[in-house]
Amino acid sequence: LESYQVSFHLPLHRYLAVFMCQAINMQGRSLQDVLPPTNMLQLIMIHPLRVQVAFYEILNGLWVRNGLQIKGQAMTYIQCNFCNSMVDADLYLLQVCAMILPSQLFMLTVLKRFHVMDWLSFSGHIRGPSFPDSDSETPMLESCLTFLASLICLRTNLGANQTRLSQLEMVTLLCMGDKTHSQLMELMPERCGTVQSRDFESALAEVAEYKAPNLEASGNMQQGMYVPKGHVWETLYDPIHVLLRAVHRREFQNSMDRFNEYVSQSGKMRPGTSAWPPYREPAPIHSAYSDPRKILKSRVFHALVWLVLYKATRWQQSVSEHVISLVIYLLEMSLSITAADPPSEQPVATVKTSTEWTVNDGDLENFFESDWLSENLRTVISTVNLPPQPDVIFETDKGPEGALPPANQRLALAAGNEVVTFVPQTSGTPDDVTPPSTVGFSPPMALLPVHSQLEVRESRSSTAPQSSSDGSTPSSSSAPGPS
């Protein structure tokens, strides 16, 4: 699938998702009855995943050259009038894929599609095409973690109680800002075949209180609004669901500001501090499904957590508190799903001290020996092997004698404050060209994102040198450099 092309129009995928959801939730069919073959499911997963990645890319400003039209498509994708048949259907299909496909395969596919493999590397560049804008790697890491949190905790189409679901949608709207009755009616997601409209008033009375109209000092009448009750912030406010429904990211920030204001006024937080988002335990799912949190029981996910926390605490790497909060939440969910396994599926506990382990940079599949969280927590990553130094190859139309540049010519790779100098030999074949035995980099995160092989071409003038006005002959063409 082309990385730089995307379409939000996936009707066949969404018809399949709605068909599977209705067959299981309404007609009592099993998941195996409606699943396509596994190899086809792996291909089907790529398209809704590409849409999810593109949505976050647009939010992070990577599609600005496409103007407001592409941003409008992203906003329409999650808008209340269409979310039931677009983003909700895509997430349901991806949740089913997470249940069925191998966890390592699913996690690696997600990390590669979100362009975070370079960020997770110590050398800054590993196999595959590099992300076009390195400044966007950290926002995309946050988006990737947000997507994983949404995937494992949302229960919109996994058999959630419809009354509770209507209540959750209403709480999400109220936490982003006070609303009038008509605004709530208009912004509630449309769901065919549910009891949403019948339960609207009862749900509203349970989660909101009415603030009567009042006359402002300017003489204008302020309209009556509904505001969330106190218990909503403590038990019902779900930041992940707010992120799913927030058309603008400032709406999520508004909800967090209102949450911090509530906990400050209730004396549950010290002055001058701010609380992390109160992530919730996922609701139960329909018996036909397996828990999508199973993807967190993977050594690839454990490697992701290790790398993010290590770079946040031991490295000079900018990691936001929101990223840390998401990682801790996902780690907590990994622990909860591991503890919920029946005894027959849990590894036999053994008396074992911490072990040291050597890994290759970027090899998340082999970062740990097993998928057992307890063992991986006791594993000490002692050494990370970085990719080899780049080779320098000279190409010329001449024979071996003319294959190399002059002996006094130095070639340099430079990026930022780091420079690696290669001194070619005075004679021999191109195979004799060797880089220096040791090259110092400090700190290790400053390692340059270089390709495994660097081609250096010698530029030569095709015309004879011209004499200058004073009769002298100008010097030859400039020294060749890295192409």
Window from 98-107, 261-270, 340-349 with minimum mean pLDDT: 340-349
Going by pLDDT thresholds of 50, 70 and 90, the confidence category of residue 89 is: very high
Q: Looking at residues 461-475, what average pLDDT do you find?
A: 44
- The dihedrals phi and psi of 323, each to the nearest 5 degrees, come to -65, -45
Q: Looking at residues 387-412, what average pLDDT do you find?
A: 54
Window from 25-39, 375-389, 394-408 with minimum mean pLDDT: 394-408
Higher pLDDT, 449 or 28: 28
Higher pLDDT, 96 or 386: 96
**Burial class of 260 by CB neighbour count within 10 A (0 to 12, 13 to 18, 19+):** middle
pLDDT tens-digit map of 43-55: 999 999 999 999 9
Q: Is there a contact between 245 and 88 (Cβ–Cβ < 8 Å)?
A: no
Tell me which residue of 60, 57, 67 sits closest to 5, measured CA to CA.
57
Q: Does domain 162-214+222-265 bear CATH number 1.10.530?
A: no
CA-angle at 49, arms to 48 and 55, nearest 5°:
90
Going by pLDDT thresholds of 50, 70 and 90, the confidence category of residue 84 is: very high
407 pLDDT more than 90: no
Please tell me the predicted confidence (pLDDT) of residue 187.
92
Please tell me the predicted confidence (pLDDT) of residue 442.
38
Going by pLDDT thresholds of 50, 70 and 90, the confidence category of residue 37 is: very high
Query: Residue 229 to residues 226, 252, 266, 274, 419: CA-CA distances in angstroms?
Result: 9, 18, 13, 21, 60
Q: What is the rounded average pLDDT for all residues in the chain?
A: 80
Please tell me the predicted confidence (pLDDT) of residue 441.
35
C-alpha dihedral sign at 288, 93, 52, 118:
positive
Q: Which of 28-37, 140-149, 470-479 has the highest mean pLDDT?
A: 140-149
Higher pLDDT, 269 or 437: 269
Sequence ranges of the domains in the chain: 11-156+285-383, 162-214+222-265, 391-457
Please tell me the predicted confidence (pLDDT) of residue 330.
98
157 pLDDT more than 70: yes
Please tell me the predicted confidence (pLDDT) of residue 394.
52
Measured distance CA(158)–CA(155) in Å, rounded:
5
410 pLDDT more than 60: no
Going by pLDDT thresholds of 50, 70 and 90, the confidence category of residue 447 is: very low
3-state class (DSSP) for residue 308 = helix
pLDDT tens-digit map of 196-208: 566 788 999 999 9
